[in-house]
Amino acid sequence: MRDMLERGTMSDQLLTISGLSAGTEDKPILHDISLSVGAGETHVLMGPNGAGKSTLGHVIMGDPIYQVSSGSITFDGADVTELGPDKRSLAGIFLSYQAPVEVPGVPLYSFLRTICQMRPELKTTARKFRTRVGEIAEQLDINQNFLTRELNVGFSGGEKKKIEMMQLLLLRPKLAILDETDSGLDVDALSIVSRGIEAYRQECDGALLMITHNTRILERLTVDRTHVMVRGNLVAEGPASLIDDIDAHGFARFEEALAQKAEA
């Protein structure tokens, strides 16, 4: 039995998406999405491949590849619909990628130091920063030799995901959007990444939006709300128990219901 008990009361809304439609220049992808995540809550966004889940994560983060055609995104009381990803990051939004990019020529440690120095509340002495990085590296079973290597260059998929968990624990965002974080991980790497997510929830008390079609990574989390997306539409919302139902029966009924609605 998963540890997925619903919390008794909903927290103040941290993220509110209202009537959001978005896509690329030549292709609409998201259709009239409305979704709210309370401070400190854990939400799960599920759906089949190609449903638009990752697109929603990128739109929340302000990825310039996507354009918002209608609706709004409010974060921590401010409308961020028109803000760039840098300002959204400084406001406290974090997005982990399915496939983190390699950045040749930029040592991992220098990258971590730079992104933390950009956040006034995270500025600290070089000595304290080294100590904190060392603690997180040990927590996530990251060899400290990695800190002198170029960011993600030659790293395995599991190593890249561990580095993203390191960034998560260093930056302590108010909202972490984790996009298919379990993709391609073996059992050991998945356990370590799950440990990082659990540490974020305990140490930072931040909100989580988990984007996935696989329920393995959810087994250690207490989930407040589950959302289902099909073909760019939010088609269902429910408690944590909806995850077990999807695990047993899949997404077919949601796809059929959307098709019937379109035909009506």
Q: Which residue ranges make up each domain of the chain?
A: 13-98+173-263
d(CA 167, CA 118): 13
Q: What's the pLDDT at 216? A: 76
Q: Residues near 31 by Cβ (< 8 Å), separated by ≥ 6?
A: 21, 232, 233
Query: How far is residue 78 CA from its own chain's centroid?
Result: 20
User: Is the pLDDT score of 7 beyond 50?
Assistant: no
User: Is the pLDDT score of 51 beyond 60?
Assistant: yes
d(CA 108, CA 69): 37
166 and 136 Cβ atoms separated by less than 8 Å:
yes
Note the pLDDT tens digit of each residue in 29-38: 999 999 999 9
pTM higher than 0.75 for the full model? yes
Nearest Cα to Cα of residue 118 among 59, 159, 167, 83: 167
| φ, ψ at 106 (rounded to 5°) | -115, 110
Note the pLDDT tens digit of each residue in 195-250: 899 999 988 889 999 998 767 778 878 899 999 999 999 999 999 999 999 988 89
The CATH number assigned to the domain with range 13-98+173-263 reads: 3.40.50.300
Q: What's the pLDDT at 176? A: 97
Note the pLDDT tens digit of each residue in 97-129: 877 888 999 999 999 999 999 888 898 999 999
**What is the residue-averaged pLDDT of the chain?**
90
Q: Where are the alpha helices (DSSP H) in 140-238?
A: 157-171, 187-204
**Burial label, 78 (beta-carbon count in 10 A; 0-12, 13-18, 19+):** exposed
- Helix or strand run (H / E) with residue 88: helix 85-91
Q: What's the pLDDT at 9? A: 39
Q: What's the pLDDT at 2? A: 38
